[in-house]
Structure 1
Amino acid sequence: MNEKRIGILGAMPEEIHGIVSLLKDKKEVVKGMRTYYTGTINDVEVVVVFSRWGKVASATTVTHLIVEFKITQLIFTGVAGAISRDLNIGDVIIASSLVQHDMDARPIMDRFEIPLLGKTMLFPPKDLLDNAMDCIGKLVADKSLIHLLSLKQQEVFSLYEQKVVVGQIASGDQFFSSNLQKENLLAALSDVLCVEMEGAAVAQVCFEYDVPYVVIRTISDIANEDSVVDFKEFVSQVASKFGVEIIRKLVK
Protein backbone atom coordinates (compact mmCIF):
# COMPACT_ATOMS: atom_id res chain seq x y z
CA MET A 1 0.00 0.00 0.00
CA ASN A 2 2.44 2.66 -1.21
CA GLU A 3 -0.02 4.93 -3.02
CA LYS A 4 -1.88 7.36 -0.76
CA ARG A 5 -5.61 6.72 -0.70
CA ILE A 6 -7.81 8.11 2.06
CA GLY A 7 -11.03 6.46 3.14
CA ILE A 8 -13.69 8.89 4.36
CA LEU A 9 -16.56 7.55 6.44
CA GLY A 10 -19.70 9.47 7.31
CA ALA A 11 -22.00 8.40 10.12
CA MET A 12 -25.11 9.72 8.36
CA PRO A 13 -26.05 9.66 4.66
CA GLU A 14 -26.62 13.42 4.77
CA GLU A 15 -23.06 13.90 5.98
CA ILE A 16 -21.40 12.31 2.99
CA HIS A 17 -23.49 14.03 0.29
CA GLY A 18 -21.57 17.28 0.60
CA ILE A 19 -18.25 15.47 0.73
CA VAL A 20 -19.13 13.53 -2.40
CA SER A 21 -19.78 16.86 -4.12
CA LEU A 22 -16.10 17.73 -3.58
CA LEU A 23 -14.94 14.75 -5.65
CA LYS A 24 -13.31 15.17 -9.01
CA ASP A 25 -13.50 12.26 -11.49
CA LYS A 26 -16.21 10.70 -9.36
CA LYS A 27 -17.14 7.05 -9.85
CA GLU A 28 -19.54 4.82 -7.93
CA VAL A 29 -19.05 1.22 -6.84
CA VAL A 30 -21.94 -0.64 -5.19
CA LYS A 31 -21.06 -3.62 -2.99
CA GLY A 32 -22.58 -5.14 0.14
CA MET A 33 -25.54 -2.73 0.17
CA ARG A 34 -23.15 0.22 0.21
CA THR A 35 -22.23 2.80 -2.42
CA TYR A 36 -18.55 3.72 -2.49
CA TYR A 37 -17.65 6.98 -4.21
CA THR A 38 -14.13 7.21 -5.57
CA GLY A 39 -12.32 10.25 -6.94
CA THR A 40 -9.95 12.96 -5.75
CA ILE A 41 -10.10 15.84 -3.29
CA ASN A 42 -7.23 18.31 -3.40
CA ASP A 43 -5.54 15.93 -5.89
CA VAL A 44 -5.54 13.12 -3.30
CA GLU A 45 -7.29 9.82 -4.06
CA VAL A 46 -10.23 9.22 -1.73
CA VAL A 47 -13.06 6.76 -1.24
CA VAL A 48 -16.19 8.15 0.44
CA VAL A 49 -18.92 5.96 1.93
CA PHE A 50 -21.75 5.98 4.46
CA SER A 51 -20.62 3.70 7.29
CA ARG A 52 -24.15 2.54 8.14
CA TRP A 53 -25.17 2.57 11.78
CA GLY A 54 -23.74 0.48 14.59
CA LYS A 55 -20.49 -1.29 15.31
CA VAL A 56 -20.95 -4.31 13.06
CA ALA A 57 -22.06 -2.32 10.03
CA SER A 58 -19.32 0.27 10.34
CA ALA A 59 -16.63 -2.36 10.96
CA THR A 60 -17.79 -4.19 7.83
CA THR A 61 -17.58 -0.97 5.82
CA VAL A 62 -14.08 -0.04 6.92
CA THR A 63 -12.86 -3.61 6.39
CA HIS A 64 -14.07 -3.38 2.81
CA LEU A 65 -12.33 -0.03 2.40
CA ILE A 66 -9.07 -1.56 3.56
CA VAL A 67 -9.23 -4.89 1.73
CA GLU A 68 -10.98 -3.90 -1.50
CA PHE A 69 -10.02 -0.26 -1.98
CA LYS A 70 -6.58 -0.43 -0.34
CA ILE A 71 -6.94 2.77 1.67
CA THR A 72 -3.81 3.93 3.46
CA GLN A 73 -5.56 6.05 6.09
CA LEU A 74 -9.08 6.75 7.34
CA ILE A 75 -11.03 9.82 8.39
CA PHE A 76 -14.36 9.30 10.19
CA THR A 77 -16.64 12.30 10.53
CA GLY A 78 -20.07 12.38 12.14
CA VAL A 79 -22.21 13.49 15.05
CA ALA A 80 -22.29 12.40 18.68
CA GLY A 81 -24.19 12.98 21.91
CA ALA A 82 -22.42 14.82 24.70
CA ILE A 83 -21.67 13.08 27.96
CA SER A 84 -19.53 15.84 29.43
CA ARG A 85 -21.57 18.81 30.64
CA ASP A 86 -18.78 21.10 29.40
CA LEU A 87 -19.81 20.46 25.79
CA ASN A 88 -22.30 22.43 23.76
CA ILE A 89 -24.13 21.77 20.51
CA GLY A 90 -21.76 22.35 17.60
CA ASP A 91 -18.55 21.65 19.52
CA VAL A 92 -16.11 19.43 17.63
CA ILE A 93 -14.54 16.43 19.36
CA ILE A 94 -11.38 14.77 18.07
CA ALA A 95 -10.83 11.32 19.58
CA SER A 96 -7.52 10.85 21.37
CA SER A 97 -8.81 7.49 22.60
CA LEU A 98 -11.81 5.27 21.85
CA VAL A 99 -13.54 2.63 23.95
CA GLN A 100 -16.45 0.24 23.35
CA HIS A 101 -18.72 1.04 26.28
CA ASP A 102 -20.90 -2.05 25.72
CA MET A 103 -17.99 -4.52 25.66
CA ASP A 104 -18.27 -6.63 28.81
CA ALA A 105 -16.85 -10.17 29.01
CA ARG A 106 -16.53 -10.31 32.79
CA PRO A 107 -15.44 -12.39 34.64
CA ILE A 108 -13.30 -13.80 31.84
CA MET A 109 -11.63 -10.42 31.34
CA ASP A 110 -11.91 -6.88 32.54
CA ARG A 111 -14.89 -4.76 31.56
CA PHE A 112 -14.38 -2.92 28.25
CA GLU A 113 -11.41 -5.13 27.29
CA ILE A 114 -11.44 -6.20 23.65
CA PRO A 115 -11.14 -10.02 23.45
CA LEU A 116 -7.79 -11.29 22.15
CA LEU A 117 -6.33 -7.78 21.87
CA GLY A 118 -5.88 -7.24 25.60
CA LYS A 119 -6.81 -3.57 25.19
CA THR A 120 -9.65 -1.49 26.59
CA MET A 121 -8.83 1.65 24.60
CA LEU A 122 -7.46 2.38 21.16
CA PHE A 123 -5.43 5.45 20.27
CA PRO A 124 -5.18 7.18 16.87
CA PRO A 125 -1.63 7.84 15.65
CA LYS A 126 -0.16 11.10 16.91
CA ASP A 127 0.61 12.60 13.50
CA LEU A 128 -3.00 12.36 12.27
CA LEU A 129 -4.30 13.54 15.63
CA ASP A 130 -1.96 16.55 15.64
CA ASN A 131 -2.89 17.42 12.06
CA ALA A 132 -6.60 17.26 12.86
CA MET A 133 -6.10 19.41 15.96
CA ASP A 134 -4.22 22.00 13.93
CA CYS A 135 -6.63 22.15 10.97
CA ILE A 136 -9.87 22.05 12.94
CA GLY A 137 -8.47 24.32 15.63
CA LYS A 138 -7.91 27.02 13.01
CA LEU A 139 -11.41 26.57 11.56
CA VAL A 140 -12.94 26.96 15.02
CA ALA A 141 -10.68 29.83 16.10
CA ASP A 142 -11.62 32.06 13.16
CA LYS A 143 -15.27 30.90 13.23
CA SER A 144 -15.03 29.53 9.69
CA LEU A 145 -17.46 26.73 10.57
CA ILE A 146 -20.06 28.89 12.29
CA HIS A 147 -19.90 31.37 9.42
CA LEU A 148 -21.12 28.60 7.11
CA LEU A 149 -24.50 28.96 8.81
CA SER A 150 -27.06 31.67 8.27
CA LEU A 151 -27.95 33.93 11.19
CA LYS A 152 -31.28 32.12 11.38
CA GLN A 153 -29.58 28.73 11.62
CA GLN A 154 -27.26 30.03 14.33
CA GLU A 155 -30.28 31.22 16.27
CA VAL A 156 -32.29 28.02 15.81
CA PHE A 157 -29.44 25.85 17.09
CA SER A 158 -28.11 28.40 19.62
CA LEU A 159 -24.75 28.10 17.92
CA TYR A 160 -22.82 31.32 18.44
CA GLU A 161 -19.62 30.01 19.97
CA GLN A 162 -17.75 26.79 19.30
CA LYS A 163 -14.77 24.93 20.62
CA VAL A 164 -12.68 21.95 19.59
CA VAL A 165 -11.90 19.40 22.29
CA VAL A 166 -9.55 16.43 22.18
CA GLY A 167 -10.45 13.45 24.35
CA GLN A 168 -12.15 10.11 24.76
CA ILE A 169 -15.10 8.93 22.68
CA ALA A 170 -17.18 5.90 23.66
CA SER A 171 -19.00 3.73 21.11
CA GLY A 172 -21.71 1.11 21.49
CA ASP A 173 -24.90 -0.26 20.01
CA GLN A 174 -27.07 1.77 22.31
CA PHE A 175 -28.87 5.11 21.97
CA PHE A 176 -28.44 7.41 24.99
CA SER A 177 -31.66 9.28 25.71
CA SER A 178 -31.63 9.85 29.47
CA ASN A 179 -29.43 11.53 32.04
CA LEU A 180 -29.35 8.28 34.02
CA GLN A 181 -27.69 6.45 31.12
CA LYS A 182 -25.10 9.19 30.82
CA GLU A 183 -24.43 9.29 34.56
CA ASN A 184 -23.97 5.52 34.66
CA LEU A 185 -21.49 5.69 31.79
CA LEU A 186 -19.51 8.47 33.46
CA ALA A 187 -19.39 6.44 36.66
CA ALA A 188 -17.67 3.66 34.73
CA LEU A 189 -15.67 5.76 32.25
CA SER A 190 -15.04 9.15 33.83
CA ASP A 191 -13.06 10.58 30.90
CA VAL A 192 -15.68 10.05 28.19
CA LEU A 193 -16.67 13.23 26.38
CA CYS A 194 -19.35 11.89 24.05
CA VAL A 195 -21.02 8.75 22.72
CA GLU A 196 -21.79 7.40 19.27
CA MET A 197 -22.23 3.98 17.66
CA GLU A 198 -19.29 3.38 15.34
CA GLY A 199 -15.93 5.00 16.11
CA ALA A 200 -14.36 2.46 18.46
CA ALA A 201 -15.32 -0.44 16.19
CA VAL A 202 -13.76 1.31 13.21
CA ALA A 203 -10.68 2.01 15.32
CA GLN A 204 -10.37 -1.68 16.17
CA VAL A 205 -10.41 -2.71 12.52
CA CYS A 206 -7.87 -0.03 11.63
CA PHE A 207 -5.66 -1.16 14.52
CA GLU A 208 -5.77 -4.78 13.42
CA TYR A 209 -4.92 -3.85 9.81
CA ASP A 210 -2.35 -1.22 10.84
CA VAL A 211 -4.17 1.59 9.02
CA PRO A 212 -3.86 5.06 10.60
CA TYR A 213 -7.12 6.79 11.40
CA VAL A 214 -8.74 9.79 13.04
CA VAL A 215 -12.31 10.08 14.39
CA ILE A 216 -14.03 13.48 14.47
CA ARG A 217 -17.49 14.14 15.90
CA THR A 218 -19.73 17.20 16.09
CA ILE A 219 -21.95 17.41 19.17
CA SER A 220 -25.61 17.20 18.15
CA ASP A 221 -27.16 17.09 21.64
CA ILE A 222 -25.88 18.02 25.07
CA ALA A 223 -25.90 16.19 28.40
CA ASN A 224 -29.26 17.61 29.42
CA GLU A 225 -32.67 16.03 28.90
CA ASP A 226 -34.20 19.50 28.61
CA SER A 227 -32.19 20.38 25.50
CA VAL A 228 -34.24 19.92 22.36
CA VAL A 229 -32.72 20.02 18.88
CA ASP A 230 -34.24 18.57 15.73
CA PHE A 231 -31.62 15.91 15.05
CA LYS A 232 -32.29 15.49 11.33
CA GLU A 233 -32.32 19.23 10.79
CA PHE A 234 -29.06 19.60 12.70
CA VAL A 235 -27.37 16.94 10.59
CA SER A 236 -28.57 18.34 7.27
CA GLN A 237 -28.17 22.04 8.07
CA VAL A 238 -25.16 22.09 10.37
CA ALA A 239 -23.10 18.91 10.76
CA SER A 240 -23.04 18.18 7.04
CA LYS A 241 -21.61 21.65 6.31
CA PHE A 242 -19.04 21.32 9.07
CA GLY A 243 -18.00 17.90 7.75
CA VAL A 244 -17.41 19.19 4.22
CA GLU A 245 -15.19 22.02 5.40
CA ILE A 246 -13.26 19.79 7.80
CA ILE A 247 -12.60 17.24 5.05
CA ARG A 248 -11.59 19.99 2.64
CA LYS A 249 -8.90 21.08 5.09
CA LEU A 250 -7.77 17.63 6.27
CA VAL A 251 -7.29 15.93 2.91
CA LYS A 252 -3.89 16.90 1.56
Structure 2
Amino acid sequence: MTIAVVAAMHEELGALLAQMPDEQRVQVAGRDFWVGHLHGQPVVAVLSRIGKVAAALTATVLLERFKVRAIVFTGVAGGLAPGVRVGDVVVATKLLQHDLDASPIFPRYEVPLTGHARFAVDTAIGDALAAAAAEVLRDPVGLLGPQVVEDFGLAAPRVHRGLLVSGDRFVSTAAESAVLRRDLPDALAVEMEGAAVAQVCHDYGVPFAAVRTISDRADDEAHGDFTRFVSAVASRYSLALVDAWLATLPAQ
Protein backbone atom coordinates (compact mmCIF):
# COMPACT_ATOMS: atom_id res chain seq x y z
CA MET A 1 0.00 0.00 0.00
CA THR A 2 1.03 3.58 -0.65
CA ILE A 3 2.65 6.13 1.69
CA ALA A 4 1.94 9.83 1.21
CA VAL A 5 4.72 12.36 1.62
CA VAL A 6 3.25 15.85 1.89
CA ALA A 7 5.57 18.82 1.46
CA ALA A 8 4.76 22.36 2.54
CA MET A 9 7.12 24.11 0.10
CA HIS A 10 7.74 23.80 -3.64
CA GLU A 11 11.48 23.38 -3.03
CA GLU A 12 10.90 20.35 -0.81
CA LEU A 13 8.54 18.72 -3.27
CA GLY A 14 11.01 19.28 -6.10
CA ALA A 15 13.79 17.61 -4.13
CA LEU A 16 11.58 14.56 -3.53
CA LEU A 17 10.46 14.31 -7.15
CA ALA A 18 14.07 14.41 -8.33
CA GLN A 19 14.61 11.12 -6.49
CA MET A 20 11.47 9.38 -7.80
CA PRO A 21 12.46 7.48 -10.97
CA ASP A 22 8.94 6.80 -12.23
CA GLU A 23 6.65 9.54 -10.99
CA GLN A 24 3.37 10.06 -12.82
CA ARG A 25 1.21 13.15 -12.32
CA VAL A 26 -2.44 12.78 -11.34
CA GLN A 27 -4.46 15.98 -11.05
CA VAL A 28 -7.24 16.14 -8.47
CA ALA A 29 -8.90 19.21 -6.97
CA GLY A 30 -6.48 21.52 -8.71
CA ARG A 31 -3.49 19.74 -7.21
CA ASP A 32 -0.70 17.67 -8.74
CA PHE A 33 -0.28 14.32 -6.99
CA TRP A 34 2.91 12.53 -8.04
CA VAL A 35 2.60 8.74 -7.91
CA GLY A 36 5.78 6.68 -7.98
CA HIS A 37 8.39 5.00 -5.78
CA LEU A 38 11.11 5.97 -3.30
CA HIS A 39 13.42 3.28 -1.95
CA GLY A 40 11.11 0.71 -3.51
CA GLN A 41 8.13 2.02 -1.55
CA PRO A 42 4.95 3.09 -3.38
CA VAL A 43 4.66 6.81 -2.69
CA VAL A 44 2.38 9.71 -3.49
CA ALA A 45 4.11 13.09 -3.14
CA VAL A 46 2.11 16.30 -3.09
CA LEU A 47 2.30 19.95 -2.17
CA SER A 48 -0.11 20.69 0.67
CA ARG A 49 -0.57 24.38 -0.13
CA ILE A 50 -0.67 26.83 2.74
CA GLY A 51 -3.15 26.88 5.61
CA LYS A 52 -5.32 24.40 7.45
CA VAL A 53 -8.20 24.14 4.97
CA ALA A 54 -5.89 23.55 2.01
CA ALA A 55 -3.91 20.94 3.94
CA ALA A 56 -7.05 19.15 5.15
CA LEU A 57 -8.40 18.95 1.60
CA THR A 58 -5.08 17.55 0.37
CA ALA A 59 -5.11 14.91 3.10
CA THR A 60 -8.70 13.92 2.32
CA VAL A 61 -7.90 13.41 -1.36
CA LEU A 62 -4.89 11.27 -0.41
CA LEU A 63 -7.07 9.08 1.77
CA GLU A 64 -10.12 8.84 -0.48
CA ARG A 65 -8.61 8.78 -3.96
CA PHE A 66 -5.19 7.21 -3.37
CA LYS A 67 -6.03 5.04 -0.34
CA VAL A 68 -2.70 5.79 1.33
CA ARG A 69 -1.75 3.79 4.42
CA ALA A 70 0.09 6.62 6.17
CA ILE A 71 0.77 10.34 5.73
CA VAL A 72 4.05 12.03 6.61
CA PHE A 73 4.18 15.83 6.52
CA THR A 74 7.44 17.72 6.10
CA GLY A 75 8.09 21.45 6.08
CA VAL A 76 9.39 24.37 8.08
CA ALA A 77 8.21 25.96 11.32
CA GLY A 78 8.97 28.78 13.69
CA GLY A 79 10.62 27.84 16.96
CA LEU A 80 8.80 28.71 20.18
CA ALA A 81 10.33 26.81 23.09
CA PRO A 82 13.67 27.90 24.53
CA GLY A 83 16.47 25.93 22.92
CA VAL A 84 14.56 25.23 19.70
CA ARG A 85 16.87 26.99 17.29
CA VAL A 86 17.16 27.65 13.56
CA GLY A 87 18.30 24.46 11.86
CA ASP A 88 16.88 22.15 14.52
CA VAL A 89 14.24 19.55 13.65
CA VAL A 90 10.97 19.02 15.53
CA VAL A 91 9.27 15.63 15.27
CA ALA A 92 5.74 16.07 16.58
CA THR A 93 4.23 13.83 19.23
CA LYS A 94 0.94 15.77 19.27
CA LEU A 95 -0.57 18.62 17.26
CA LEU A 96 -3.04 21.35 18.21
CA GLN A 97 -4.76 24.27 16.46
CA HIS A 98 -3.67 27.33 18.41
CA ASP A 99 -6.25 29.60 16.77
CA LEU A 100 -9.29 27.38 17.43
CA ASP A 101 -11.58 28.70 20.18
CA ALA A 102 -15.25 27.66 20.40
CA SER A 103 -15.52 28.60 24.06
CA PRO A 104 -17.58 28.79 26.17
CA ILE A 105 -19.50 26.04 24.37
CA PHE A 106 -16.36 23.91 24.15
CA PRO A 107 -13.00 24.23 25.89
CA ARG A 108 -10.48 26.44 24.14
CA TYR A 109 -8.50 24.58 21.45
CA GLU A 110 -10.88 21.60 21.48
CA VAL A 111 -12.23 20.56 18.07
CA PRO A 112 -16.01 20.66 18.59
CA LEU A 113 -17.76 17.31 18.88
CA THR A 114 -14.51 15.33 18.99
CA GLY A 115 -13.43 15.72 22.60
CA HIS A 116 -9.88 16.34 21.34
CA ALA A 117 -7.67 19.39 21.31
CA ARG A 118 -4.41 17.50 20.83
CA PHE A 119 -4.13 14.86 18.15
CA ALA A 120 -1.40 12.27 18.62
CA VAL A 121 0.90 11.12 15.84
CA ASP A 122 1.66 7.49 15.11
CA THR A 123 4.25 6.45 17.69
CA ALA A 124 6.13 3.97 15.50
CA ILE A 125 6.50 6.40 12.58
CA GLY A 126 7.38 9.25 14.94
CA ASP A 127 10.08 7.16 16.60
CA ALA A 128 11.51 6.13 13.24
CA LEU A 129 11.53 9.70 11.93
CA ALA A 130 13.22 10.96 15.08
CA ALA A 131 15.94 8.31 14.73
CA ALA A 132 16.38 9.20 11.07
CA ALA A 133 16.57 12.91 11.93
CA ALA A 134 19.23 12.30 14.55
CA GLU A 135 21.33 10.46 11.98
CA VAL A 136 20.81 13.13 9.31
CA LEU A 137 21.81 15.94 11.68
CA ARG A 138 24.95 14.16 12.84
CA ASP A 139 27.01 15.69 10.01
CA PRO A 140 25.48 19.00 8.86
CA VAL A 141 28.61 20.00 6.95
CA GLY A 142 28.53 16.79 4.94
CA LEU A 143 24.86 17.32 4.10
CA LEU A 144 24.77 21.07 3.50
CA GLY A 145 28.34 22.17 2.89
CA PRO A 146 30.51 24.36 5.13
CA GLN A 147 29.31 27.71 3.74
CA VAL A 148 25.63 27.01 4.42
CA VAL A 149 26.40 25.74 7.90
CA GLU A 150 28.39 28.88 8.62
CA ASP A 151 25.84 31.26 7.11
CA PHE A 152 22.94 29.89 9.14
CA GLY A 153 24.86 28.89 12.27
CA LEU A 154 24.01 25.20 12.01
CA ALA A 155 27.07 23.68 13.66
CA ALA A 156 25.15 21.55 16.17
CA PRO A 157 21.49 21.07 15.11
CA ARG A 158 19.29 19.05 17.44
CA VAL A 159 16.15 16.90 17.26
CA HIS A 160 13.21 17.81 19.51
CA ARG A 161 10.00 15.88 20.15
CA GLY A 162 6.77 17.28 21.49
CA LEU A 163 3.82 19.55 20.74
CA LEU A 164 3.55 21.26 17.36
CA VAL A 165 0.88 23.95 17.00
CA SER A 166 -0.85 25.12 13.82
CA GLY A 167 -2.83 28.21 12.86
CA ASP A 168 -3.95 30.21 9.87
CA ARG A 169 -1.48 33.01 10.30
CA PHE A 170 2.27 33.39 9.88
CA VAL A 171 3.60 34.12 13.37
CA SER A 172 6.30 36.71 12.82
CA THR A 173 6.48 39.01 15.83
CA ALA A 174 8.00 38.60 19.26
CA ALA A 175 4.67 39.65 20.79
CA GLU A 176 2.75 36.86 19.05
CA SER A 177 5.37 34.30 20.04
CA ALA A 178 5.22 35.46 23.66
CA VAL A 179 1.44 34.96 23.73
CA LEU A 180 1.77 31.43 22.34
CA ARG A 181 4.47 30.55 24.87
CA ARG A 182 2.28 31.90 27.67
CA ASP A 183 -0.86 30.05 26.59
CA LEU A 184 0.83 26.85 25.39
CA PRO A 185 4.06 26.59 27.39
CA ASP A 186 4.87 23.09 26.10
CA ALA A 187 4.61 24.04 22.41
CA LEU A 188 7.91 23.54 20.60
CA ALA A 189 7.13 25.22 17.28
CA VAL A 190 4.38 26.84 15.21
CA GLU A 191 3.32 26.30 11.59
CA MET A 192 0.16 26.46 9.45
CA GLU A 193 -0.98 22.97 8.40
CA GLY A 194 -0.03 19.99 10.55
CA ALA A 195 -2.85 19.91 13.10
CA ALA A 196 -5.48 19.97 10.35
CA VAL A 197 -3.93 16.94 8.67
CA ALA A 198 -3.64 15.22 12.03
CA GLN A 199 -7.37 15.73 12.61
CA VAL A 200 -8.28 14.29 9.20
CA CYS A 201 -6.04 11.25 9.75
CA HIS A 202 -7.53 10.74 13.22
CA ASP A 203 -11.03 10.69 11.76
CA TYR A 204 -10.00 8.15 9.11
CA GLY A 205 -7.93 6.04 11.52
CA VAL A 206 -4.82 6.36 9.33
CA PRO A 207 -1.31 6.84 10.80
CA PHE A 208 0.12 10.33 10.59
CA ALA A 209 3.44 11.96 11.48
CA ALA A 210 4.89 15.43 11.08
CA VAL A 211 8.48 16.63 10.99
CA ARG A 212 9.45 20.29 10.72
CA THR A 213 12.74 22.11 10.23
CA ILE A 214 13.05 25.29 12.29
CA SER A 215 13.53 28.16 9.85
CA ASP A 216 13.17 31.04 12.33
CA ARG A 217 12.18 31.89 15.89
CA ALA A 218 8.67 33.13 14.93
CA ASP A 219 9.63 36.65 15.99
CA ASP A 220 10.45 39.99 14.39
CA GLU A 221 13.35 38.40 12.48
CA ALA A 222 11.18 35.61 11.08
CA HIS A 223 11.27 36.82 7.49
CA GLY A 224 15.08 36.64 7.30
CA ASP A 225 16.55 34.85 4.28
CA PHE A 226 13.60 32.46 4.24
CA THR A 227 13.71 31.44 0.59
CA ARG A 228 17.41 30.58 0.70
CA PHE A 229 16.97 28.65 3.94
CA VAL A 230 14.21 26.50 2.46
CA SER A 231 16.28 25.76 -0.63
CA ALA A 232 19.69 25.28 1.00
CA VAL A 233 18.66 23.68 4.30
CA ALA A 234 15.05 22.57 4.77
CA SER A 235 14.63 20.83 1.42
CA ARG A 236 17.88 18.88 1.93
CA TYR A 237 16.91 17.94 5.48
CA SER A 238 13.49 16.72 4.32
CA LEU A 239 14.83 14.62 1.47
CA ALA A 240 17.57 13.04 3.58
CA LEU A 241 15.19 12.34 6.44
CA VAL A 242 12.44 10.81 4.29
CA ASP A 243 15.05 8.75 2.42
CA ALA A 244 16.52 7.45 5.67
CA TRP A 245 13.09 6.53 7.04
CA LEU A 246 11.83 4.81 3.89
CA ALA A 247 15.05 2.81 3.67
CA THR A 248 14.15 1.14 6.98
CA LEU A 249 10.75 -0.12 5.78
CA PRO A 250 10.17 -3.62 4.38
CA ALA A 251 10.09 -3.70 0.59
CA GLN A 252 6.64 -3.66 -0.95
CA distance in 2, matches of 1:174, 1:45: 34
Tell me, what secondary structure is at the counterpart of 1:25? coil
* Structure-2 residue corresponding to 1:122: 119
* Structure-2 residue corresponding to 1:203: 198
**Aligned match of 1:175 in 142, 161, 170?**
170
* Structure-2 residue corresponding to 1:56: 53
**Aligned match of 2:82 in 82, 85, 91?**
85
* Structure-1 residue corresponding to 2:216: 221
* Structure-2 residue corresponding to 1:138: 135
* Structure-1 residue corresponding to 2:22: 25
* Structure-2 residue corresponding to 1:239: 234
Gaps of 5+ in 2: none
Deviations 1:81-109 (A, max 9, x none): 01112111110000011000001001101
CA distance in 1, matches of 2:218, 2:27: 38
Tell me, what secondary structure is at the counterpart of 1:81? strand
Report the alpha carbon displacement of residue 133 of structure 1 after superposing the two structures with TM: 1.8
Kept in 1: contact 2:59–2:197 (CA 8 A): yes
Gaps of 5+ in 1: none
Kept in 2: contact 1:104–1:110 (CA 8 A): yes
**Aligned match of 2:144 in 145, 149, 152?**
149
Query: 2:190 aligned with 1:190, yes or no?
Result: no
Report the alpha carbon displacement of residue 131 of structure 1 after superposing the two structures with TM: 1.3
* Structure-2 residue corresponding to 1:16: 13
* TM-score, normalisation: structure 1: 0.94
Deviates more, 1:154-163 or 1:100-109: 154-163
* Structure-2 residue corresponding to 1:5: 2
CA distance in 2, matches of 1:199, 1:227: 19
Kept in 2: contact 1:100–1:200 (CA 8 A): yes
Deviations 1:11-59 (A, max 9, x none): 1111110111111221011121211101011111000000000000000
Report the alpha carbon displacement of residue 188 of structure 1 after superposing the two structures with TM: 1.1
Report the alpha carbon displacement of residue 150 of structure 1 after superposing the two structures with TM: 2.0
Count of residue pairs brought into register by the alignment: 247
* TM-score, normalisation: structure 2: 0.94
Letter in 2 for 1:192: A
Report the alpha carbon displacement of residue 127 of structure 1 after superposing the two structures with TM: 1.1
CA distance in 2, matches of 1:51, 1:165: 23
CA distance in 2, matches of 1:111, 1:221: 27
